[in-house]
Each structure stands twice: as structure tokens, then as C-alpha cells.
Amino acid sequence: MNAAVAALTTPARWLPAYVGVGSNLEGPVAQVRRALGALAELPGTRLVASSPLYRTQPFGDVVQPVFVNAVAGLLTQRTPEELLNDLRSLERALGRVTALSERWGPRVIDLDLLVVGREARATAELTLPHAGIAGRDFVLYPLADIAPDLDVPGLGRVAALRERVANRGIEKL
């Protein structure tokens, strides 16, 4: 069989991926649920788990409403770059206005690519695992609900990372 035929008949490899979901504007609970549903519709991707929702304190120095956060567990055939582009497109479709969003400011929806398989990289466009994952309660608490034994490349197991992060008033809804 030549390479072209093999490429057409060989099933694509499915990789686990985890996406942080957050909102603190325009009905955050509904926004997060809407985003989780939309993640299930991404091409070449299956939603296989979603955490409970959490009420969390904003990160950074901007005064703003509390957030609602969750984590989605996916299986994907997309490359990390393709998946990141899909997430950015989905954010726009769900009402995020990036040009007006301050760093760590309020937002209708925020989708962060946290982990993809065993990928570890840092480019101008994409850092895997997500640069802030090890210090964020709003990521680690919901992630521990669906993947406590996940080994985050270069950082360790999610359950252990969660034990080391300060709880800033996070509350399961």
C-alpha cells in the first residue's frame, strides 16, 4: 500500500486534551454550560468528561464579578494548534470580544487549552501545558474532579498540584 492510500485508511490518533472554561458576565452558569455543549460539537473532537461548575474568585488585580469555572475533558484528532484555533473561533462565536478584554479581566467566555496528551512546548502562540496551570485553584479543582491522576507534563499529577495550591474561596455549585 502506498503512503497516500495508507494515510486515507489509517485512523487518526485520538489524544486526550483538557480545556478550562470560565465566565463572569451575562449569566456565567449558562455561558459555561453553553460552552461545554459547543465543545462537544468541535470537528475531530469528542467531549468525554466535564467537571462540576465552581464559583471562583477573579484572578489578577481587576475588580470584577466572581467567575464560574469548569474543565472539559476531550479526545481529539486535532493538532494542538488546530484545537487552539478552534477554541478561539468558539470564543468569538459565543460572544467574547478579545480586543476589549483586559488581561485577567471580565469576560463572557474564556476557553484555555490546558493539556494535550504529553505535549510540552512554548511558542509565541501556544504554551503546553498552560503556563499558569500549577498555581490556579479555578483550574486545578475542576480538573481534579475529572482527571486526578493526570500527569501534567513537567509538573506532576493533578491531585498533588491541587494539594499545593491555595484555595481562594472556591466553591462547588
Catalytic residue positions, numbered:
96, 107, 110, 112
The C-alpha torsion from 85 through 102 and 121 to 111, rounded to 10°, is -50
Q: Nearest-CA neighbor of 69 among 158, 163, 144? A: 144
Contact (Cβ atoms closer than 8 angstroms) between residue 69 and residue 21: yes
The runs of H, that is alpha helices, within the chain are 3-9, 28-39, 80-93, 137-146, 158-164
